[in-house]
Structure 1
């Protein structure tokens, strides 16, 4: 990929990353409600929540974030290839 295309992709990648984070947060919130828990996931320092609940929430949040980020990154790269004919690095 040319240097100019790499530079041009940076802001696009940044915006996609921000969007992916927001989407992942919204999906996690819905998934947490769906599992029958409170509206808000526990914080690691929440004294009233047990270890299991905190670790399950963290694992679920991490899995959702990773899947959404991978999907958005892959989709963005495929879009760049369609526009420029080159895969971003």
Structure 2
């Protein structure tokens, strides 16, 4: 669980950095931000989803590889 929580923190920080580059703004728009465009809101949501999914996959894969190194078997 701790590794998953740390992965979430890492994903949030990575997304924030990417959004500053892609969006050119400090904070990503929320879906309810009235003054933000549909394009900006949906772009931010898609990027955030991709970052979180990628980090989750990397954390799970790393955990599985670590388990194999420790036990000699790949977890199911």
Offset, 1:36: 4.3
**1:37 positional shift:** 2.3
**Structure 2: runs of 5+ lacking an equivalent:** none
3-state DSSP class of the match of 2:6?
helix
How many residue pairs get matched? 76
The higher-RCO structure (CA 8 Å, 6+ apart) is 1
Rg (Cα) greater in structure: 1
Give the TM-score of the pair, scaled to structure 2: 0.92
What is the root-mean-square deviation in Å for CA atoms of aligned residues?
A: 1.0
2:10 aligned to 10, 23, 29, which one? 23
4+ runs of 1 displaced by more than 6 Å?
A: none
Equivalent in the alignment of 1:7: none
